[in-house]
Amino acid sequence: MSHPRSRVRLHVSTETLPLTTPFRITGYTFTDATVVVATIRDGDAEGRGEASGVYYLEDGPPEMVAAIEAQRGEIEAGVSRKDLRHLLPPGGARNALDCALWELEARRAGQPVWKLAGLQPPAPLVTTFTLG
């Protein structure tokens, strides 16, 4: 169910981001987070999304990059956010692409993503800590 857009280009990369404070959980200590960055460009518009996956579900950066690359043809043919739900299973790869598609759509429309999604402007949230 792709939309013909021959100008669509996908770029996939990874970035390692240092954590300000080590994150410890169930016997693991993380000092950085490696994320997959998906950038979708269509003409002058560009959308970018990133995700880190879930290590204990074997949804790490290598698996995420492979999943995205396996669908490069469909993505560059002009996949929609709706199509994406059938193209990739839930997980980091789909999340990174979904975020990129939201941003691309918002930039084309000249609106922020929250408005395009019919939501209220984002507000600060109280965060929680995981104990483990």
Question: What does the DSSP assignment read for 78-132?
Answer: T--HHHHHHHS-SSHHHHHHHHHHHHHHHHHHTS-HHHHTT-PPP----------
Question: Taking the model in full, what pTM does it have?
Answer: 0.86
38-43 average pLDDT score: 96
User: What domains lie within the chain, and their CATH numbers?
Assistant: 8-109 (3.30.390.10)
Contact indicator for 92, 52 with CB cutoff of 8 Å: yes
11: its two tokens: 């770029």
Is residue 54 helix, strand or coil?
Answer: strand
| Cβ partners under 8 Å of residue 58, min gap 6 | none
The DSSP 8-state label assigned to residue 66 in this structure reads H
Mean pLDDT for the chain overall: 91
Q: Is 57 helix (H, G, I), strand (E, B) or coil?
A: helix
| Band of pLDDT at residue 1, cut at 50, 70 and 90 | very low
Instruction: Strand 45-51: give its sheet, edge to edge.
Output: 8-25, 28-42, 45-51
What single letter denotes the amino acid at residue 36?
A: V
Q: Is the pLDDT of residue 56 over 60?
A: yes
Does residue 5 register a pLDDT over 50? no
**Quick one: average pLDDT of 77-100?**
96
pLDDT band at 25 (very low <50, low <70, confident <90, very high): confident
